[in-house]
Structure 1
Amino acid sequence: MSERLVADVIVDRLKAWNVQRVFGYSGDGINTVLGAMRRSGDPEFIQVRHEENAAFMAVGHAKYTGGVGVVMSTQGPGAIHLLNGLYDARLDGVPVVAIVGQQSRSVLGSSYMQEVDLMNLTRDVASAFRQQVNSPEQVPLVLDRAFKKALATGTPAVVIIPHDVQQAPAPELEQEHGILNTAPVFRPARTQPGEADVQAAADLINSGQKVALLVGQGARHARAQVHALAEKIGAGITTSLLGKPYVDETAPLAAGTMGHLGTASAGYVLDNCDTLLIIGSNDPWTEFYPTPGSARAVQIDRDASAIGNRYPVEVGITSDAGPALDALIPLLEAKPDTPWRGKVEASVRRWHELARVRAMTDADPVNPERVVWELNKRLPDNAQVAVDVGSSVYWYARQLQLPEGVPAHLSSTLASMGCSVPYGLAAKLAAPDRPVVALSGDGAMQMAGVSELITLSRLWQQWEDPRFVLCVLNNRELAEVTWEQREMEGDPRFEDSQSLPDFKYAEYAKLLGLESIRVEDPELLGEAWDVALAAKRPFLIEVVTDPAVPLLPPFPAGAAQAQTMKDGLAQEGAAGEHSRRLLDTYLAQEEGLYDDL
């Protein structure tokens, strides 16, 4: 084909935006663009098993690289399948561009095969930018605006391209009325703090005696400043789940992740502080913030509309975290040795010991906390980590301390199961010279992960470092929901909804040409991790874990919820006896942990 088509213009524009790979699945609604990609040879097309996973991969690419993730699908069912991943991007604040095919313009409105109103379908998820291209001349400007809006707002943008527009001859954009020539250029804004706001924040923080930090993903480029501030004033450092990778959790003042799945030390720090500094966080676990009125608060966020959304702050600083902290730190009074600092450090030490004790608590057959505790001693300094949604997130938040420079990502705010393998693949494709470690429960694997192991088996031979270690916690149970039923509803476990088939993950991996091992003895976990991390091809560790290990919120919330859990377990009779014993053990381990501080 010698004539250039609109589809070729689309591919050229993707290259102009430095798009290196597009995740997706083929179909007649997008085939003309795929043909142009074949002719061009660039960008790379990553074929997945399901469009939802393609969208997750695009989100993962954006999270691990800091760039724009691009996903492509056909019309109708392909477009509908994208929604879950696009909402993941929207809720976690990352830029994704979705290019979606559509039936030809001549049949729209006729209830044609696979005809879906894509503008209405994506109205909410892509509220910042969604546009159907109705003429060849629109293509460059719509794509440019989609990328710019996604980058500027950290949200998904959707471009809908009817099939006949893709097939049209490439336009010559003359300078005339009704024609726009745009440029594929974007430079992010850098917000600087106002002097009066910084001074007001310093005055408030200096008046406090027990300062806590809540650090979110907005501090990703301010790791050093966060720790310098904490050291200067003896502040306890807590993080949101999204902020966890951006602090040094080995530091004496680092209390860990807050919230229902967080650490006891983070609970102690937030429950006892009198001053709170929120840095780049919009974490929704508001019941784990200080009680309103018990702590005065300052918030730093580049998005002015986010300030005061989660807690009644007195001072807001609209700025990137780094410049704001650079301006704030010199104005703070040094308090290197205070009673509060001593209590924070003591709470952190006690938490680390409690985490170790819990990892070593006997279970039937393996305590899932120990799986991640053993990884914590072995995680490579250049690894990339992907975590799925479910009980595995609890063990990641509580047991894994990430080395500096090791990214870890998951579907946090949407909390959608099935993200770990797609995220891990995106991370590996973006940095094939770095090992990937993915943590998943069996529910998430059965929802999406098993199918994308086929994609993994297809791609790994091209990677410079072939290590992709996937650990599946196989407890034959939707454990997080089971414990939520007990905790939130006072209900017993519901067998029909909670029990999962005992799929042979390790055996299936071997069928795909991957290496694997099944572990049922906790004493063999360390060796399994060592073997997997030294393997010359992707490796699946299937660990048979105990669903009875409780997902207990940190105290004092954990103690408050324990009775409701017991009410639910009481209705299970003999079947719940093992879970009751483990719950009592966990409660006893934490009881009185901080009473003397």
Structure 2
Amino acid sequence: MTTVAEMLVEALAEHGVTQVWGVVGDALNPVTDAIRRDDRIEWIGVRHEEAAAFAAGAQAQLTGRIGVCMGTVGPGSIHLLNGLYDAKKSHAPVLAICGQVPSPEMGTDFFQEVNNDVLFADVAQFAQTVTAASQMPQLLEQAVNAAYSGQGVAVLTMPGDIGDEEVAKDARNPKFAPAAAEAAAPDDQLALAAKVLNDASAVTLLVGQGAREARAEILQLAQTLQAPMVLTLKGKETLEQDNPFQIGQSGLIGNPSTKKAFDDCEVLFMIGTDFPYRDWYPKGKTVIQLDARAEHIGRRTQVDHAVVGHTKPSLQALLPHLTARTDDKHLREATKAYGEWHERQQKLTSPDHDSTFLGRLRGKADNPDERIRPEAVAAALDRHAAADAIFTSDTGMSTVWISRFVEFRGTRRLLGSYNLGSMANAMPQALGAQALDRGRQVIANCGDGGLMMLLGDLRTAVSYQLPVTFVVYDNGRLGMVKLEQEQGGLPEFGTKLDNPDLAAVAAAMGLKSTRVTSADALDEAVRTALTSGEPYLLDIVTNPDEIALPPKPSVHQAWGFAIAKTKETLESA
């Protein structure tokens, strides 16, 4: 005899699922009991279901395989939503198994009952409730296949009486559909793109995560066109290292060279990116966009030439039709501007920066308490992190510092809530990454606000021996909100955080921890944490007034910042 729950767990284990994340309880007890009896799957019980969904989504992003999380009846399933929305917007295949009240009680407004099919309708590619054992394995197959084909979320709801029901003796084992093969764009689209690129006086590339598996082709394209390459944050993996064409990021985390490369080009060639910030696209340019998802074409900026196909085979077909450019002026000027900016930024990472003449002048204005500059924290991580380290970053200022000061050489990976923009993602995503390989270095770059939001799941790292290094940029602020307010001319309000000693809190939860208050102690503290081999929290007291200027601040932004600072001074006097 095989129950619905046993079939479910057996199928996931056979498919290669190694962990399931969630909180145990009522309707899902048959499923968790089946996991208990199957040595191939590890149950990781979190303190909050949101952490479970973030962890499963992280695993899906890293492996391309389905991540699995669970939430039981009503509130337990509701708690999954934020992490599942992140998976949806990150195109990560995730299966959420959700509990429901017993079948006879459905529709009666029973205790904790919510309509999961309606609740998850927006976030999920597939959301259905199993109402009879005879529906299995078909519903499970549909759920997993939908998550893969749509690169998103599938929700399978199990009423409390269904998990223990027997499936038919002649029911076959679930079979999941294979991934579709990658395909090049049509010849006519490639031919037109080649003509536009060959005729252009200057080309700038905007390259995203959809091109990460086409490193050789991307570099050859940039060489042929003598084109500077703006990388999205997600494009840093595999494309940043040993790349003489890349000039960093655009948007609020960007730098002046990307603005110059956009302004000076005739043709913008977007490759494997859905970069969402419309204000940062150049105006009046001819735009080519290559993307495997037709729905991405033209939704951020007006596109003149759509090229629909996967990056690697499409570029392999395009490159033979391109004429090698000899004029490198556009590339030279953009990379020169990037090199000069990068050199200025690196000066901020020195422990003795604020003791230099210029550093003392700047410090009196923006760091009077002589706290550690966050740039130095990210630079220390870059120096000491392994070549295959996985970095996660909370939304906000910690992402800025990782973007600017950590180079993604080797096989380093990067995860964050870069499309949803959630708080509190770095810690649970790091847990998910570490569970895949407890011997690989995983570094969570946490804002103090984000860490405190899901603080309870620090203990999960201890309970399941997940040796994540949690680095907290402890500036006592919601830093990005502070910057937004001040750039808009508003005085800082509601952003100050009355933090406890986070190192002491971590120690009480069973982690090794260190509170770092001196720039001179930073380097050794980072080295020690990263080589500890156990869960470790670094509580680094950083400067709350560090400013991350966008590539070209507007007069409005600068004036707003000045007004805000004046208001803050007057109100604190």
Q: Aligning the two structures, in what range does the TM-score lie when normalised by the shorter sequence?
A: over 0.9
Q: Do residues 323 (structure 1) and 329 (structure 2) align?
A: no
Q: Letter of the 1:185 partner, please give it.
A: A
Corresponding residue for residue 45 of structure 1? 43
Q: CA deviation at 1:17?
A: 2.3
Residue of 181, 185, 199 corresponding to 1:193: 185
Residue of 536, 559, 566 corresponding to 1:563: 559
Q: Letter of the 1:263 partner, please give it.
A: N
The superposition leaves residues 97-139 of structure 1 with CA deviations (integer Å, 9 ceiling, x where unpaired) of 101010111011111111001111111111x211111110112
Q: Letter of the 1:506 partner, please give it.
A: A
- The sequence identity of aligned pairs, in percent, is 33
Q: CA deviation at 1:268?
A: 2.2
Give the Cα–Cα distance (whole angstroms) in 2 for the partners of residues 148 and 540 of structure 1.
39
Q: Do residues 290 (structure 1) and 282 (structure 2) align?
A: yes
Corresponding residue for residue 135 of structure 1? 132
Corresponding residue for residue 107 of structure 2? 109
Residue of 503, 513, 518 corresponding to 2:515: 518
| Contact 2:129 2:157 (C-alpha < 8 Å) held by counterparts | yes
| Contact 1:249 1:255 (C-alpha < 8 Å) held by counterparts | no
Q: Letter of the 1:395 partner, please give it.
A: W
| Contact 2:388 2:413 (C-alpha < 8 Å) held by counterparts | no
| Contact 2:289 2:303 (C-alpha < 8 Å) held by counterparts | yes
| Contact 2:11 2:174 (C-alpha < 8 Å) held by counterparts | no
Output the TM-score relative to the length of structure 1: 0.90
| Contact 1:260 1:285 (C-alpha < 8 Å) held by counterparts | no
Corresponding residue for residue 482 of structure 2? 482
Output the TM-score relative to the length of structure 2: 0.93
> What SS is found at the alignment partner of 1:64?
helix
Give the Cα–Cα distance (whole angstroms) in 2 for the partners of residues 546 and 208 of structure 1.
45
Residue of 434, 437, 454 corresponding to 2:459: 454
- Mapping of 1:160-239 within 5 angstroms? 160-173=157-170, 183-239=175-231
Q: Do residues 409 (structure 1) and 408 (structure 2) align?
A: no
Give the Cα–Cα distance (whole angstroms) in 1 for the partners of residues 260 and 452 of structure 2.
37
Give the Cα–Cα distance (whole angstroms) in 1 for the partners of residues 103 and 174 of structure 2.
25
Q: CA deviation at 1:376?
A: 2.1
Residue of 79, 83, 99 corresponding to 2:77: 79
Give the Cα–Cα distance (whole angstroms) in 1 for the partners of residues 472 and 391 of structure 2.
14
Q: CA deviation at 1:159?
A: 0.5
The superposition leaves residues 391-443 of structure 1 with CA deviations (integer Å, 9 ceiling, x where unpaired) of 11111111211113111110111011111111111111112221111111100
* Residues matched between the structures, number: 557
- Mapping of 1:140-539 within 5 angstroms? 140-173=137-170, 183-291=175-283, 293=284, 295-359=285-349, 360=353, 361=359, 362=363, 363=367, 364-448=370-454, 450-460=455-465, 466=467, 468-488=468-488, 490-494=489-493, 497-539=494-536
| Contact 1:249 1:256 (C-alpha < 8 Å) held by counterparts | no
Q: CA deviation at 1:337?
A: 4.5
| Contact 2:129 2:156 (C-alpha < 8 Å) held by counterparts | yes
Give the Cα–Cα distance (whole angstroms) in 2 for the partners of residues 40 and 252 of structure 1.
50
Give the Cα–Cα distance (whole angstroms) in 1 for the partners of residues 379 and 326 of structure 2.
31
Give the Cα–Cα distance (whole angstroms) in 2 for the partners of residues 457 and 161 of structure 1.
31
> What SS is found at the alignment partner of 1:23?
strand
Give the Cα–Cα distance (whole angstroms) in 1 for the partners of residues 266 and 385 of structure 2.
36
> What SS is found at the alignment partner of 1:198?
helix
Corresponding residue for residue 94 of structure 1? 92
> What SS is found at the alignment partner of 2:161?
helix
Give the Cα–Cα distance (whole angstroms) in 2 for the partners of residues 430 and 105 of structure 1.
36
Give the Cα–Cα distance (whole angstroms) in 1 for the partners of residues 492 and 188 of structure 2.
55
| Contact 1:417 1:444 (C-alpha < 8 Å) held by counterparts | yes
Give the Cα–Cα distance (whole angstroms) in 2 for the partners of residues 325 and 559 of structure 1.
40
Q: Letter of the 2:55 partner, please give it.
A: M
Q: Letter of the 1:538 partner, please give it.
A: P
Corresponding residue for residue 356 of structure 2? none
Give the Cα–Cα distance (whole angstroms) in 2 for the partners of residues 478 and 182 of structure 1.
47
| Contact 2:148 2:179 (C-alpha < 8 Å) held by counterparts | no
Q: CA deviation at 1:187?
A: 2.5
The superposition leaves residues 163-193 of structure 1 with CA deviations (integer Å, 9 ceiling, x where unpaired) of 111121222346xxxxx98622322332222
| Contact 1:77 1:114 (C-alpha < 8 Å) held by counterparts | yes
| Contact 2:50 2:81 (C-alpha < 8 Å) held by counterparts | yes
Give the Cα–Cα distance (whole angstroms) in 1 for the partners of residues 199 and 451 of structure 2.
50
Q: CA deviation at 1:575?
A: 6.6
Give the Cα–Cα distance (whole angstroms) in 2 for the partners of residues 503 and 171 of structure 1.
56
| Contact 1:191 1:318 (C-alpha < 8 Å) held by counterparts | no
> What SS is found at the alignment partner of 1:79?
helix
| Contact 1:374 1:526 (C-alpha < 8 Å) held by counterparts | yes
Q: Letter of the 1:52 partner, please give it.
A: E
| Contact 1:8 1:170 (C-alpha < 8 Å) held by counterparts | no
| Contact 2:261 2:330 (C-alpha < 8 Å) held by counterparts | no
Give the Cα–Cα distance (whole angstroms) in 2 for the partners of residues 339 and 369 of structure 1.
31
Corresponding residue for residue 583 of structure 1? none
Q: CA deviation at 1:534?
A: 2.1
Q: Letter of the 1:53 partner, please give it.
A: A
> What SS is found at the alignment partner of 2:537?
strand
The superposition leaves residues 483-513 of structure 1 with CA deviations (integer Å, 9 ceiling, x where unpaired) of 111223x21111xx21112221212222233
Give the Cα–Cα distance (whole angstroms) in 2 for the partners of residues 406 and 150 of structure 1.
26
Give the Cα–Cα distance (whole angstroms) in 1 for the partners of residues 291 and 413 of structure 2.
21
Q: CA deviation at 1:253?
A: 1.9
> What SS is found at the alignment partner of 1:317?
strand
Give the Cα–Cα distance (whole angstroms) in 1 for the partners of residues 144 and 378 of structure 2.
38
Give the Cα–Cα distance (whole angstroms) in 2 for the partners of residues 520 and 559 of structure 1.
35
Q: CA deviation at 1:259?
A: 0.9
| Contact 1:271 1:289 (C-alpha < 8 Å) held by counterparts | no
Q: Letter of the 1:480 partner, please give it.
A: M
Give the Cα–Cα distance (whole angstroms) in 2 for the partners of residues 357 and 181 of structure 1.
60
Give the Cα–Cα distance (whole angstroms) in 2 for the partners of residues 271 and 54 of structure 1.
43
> What SS is found at the alignment partner of 2:325?
coil
Give the Cα–Cα distance (whole angstroms) in 1 for the partners of residues 150 and 183 of structure 2.
14
| Contact 2:258 2:334 (C-alpha < 8 Å) held by counterparts | no
Q: Letter of the 2:522 partner, please give it.
A: L
Give the Cα–Cα distance (whole angstroms) in 2 for the partners of residues 337 and 432 of structure 1.
49
Give the Cα–Cα distance (whole angstroms) in 2 for the partners of residues 532 and 277 of structure 1.
42
| Contact 2:73 2:98 (C-alpha < 8 Å) held by counterparts | yes
Give the Cα–Cα distance (whole angstroms) in 1 for the partners of residues 90 and 268 of structure 2.
23
Corresponding residue for residue 66 of structure 2? 68
Q: CA deviation at 1:341?
A: 1.6
Residue of 19, 22, 41 corresponding to 1:21: 19
Give the Cα–Cα distance (whole angstroms) in 1 for the partners of residues 134 and 28 of structure 2.
18
> What SS is found at the alignment partner of 1:506?
helix
Stretch deviating more after TM superposition (533-542 or 206-215): 533-542
Give the Cα–Cα distance (whole angstroms) in 2 for the partners of residues 23 and 289 of structure 1.
39
> What SS is found at the alignment partner of 1:106?
helix
Give the Cα–Cα distance (whole angstroms) in 1 for the partners of residues 141 and 67 of structure 2.
14
Corresponding residue for residue 594 of structure 1? none
- Which blocks of at least 5 consecutive residues in structure 1 are unaligned? 175-179, 578-597
> What SS is found at the alignment partner of 1:112?
coil
Give the Cα–Cα distance (whole angstroms) in 1 for the partners of residues 41 and 174 of structure 2.
21
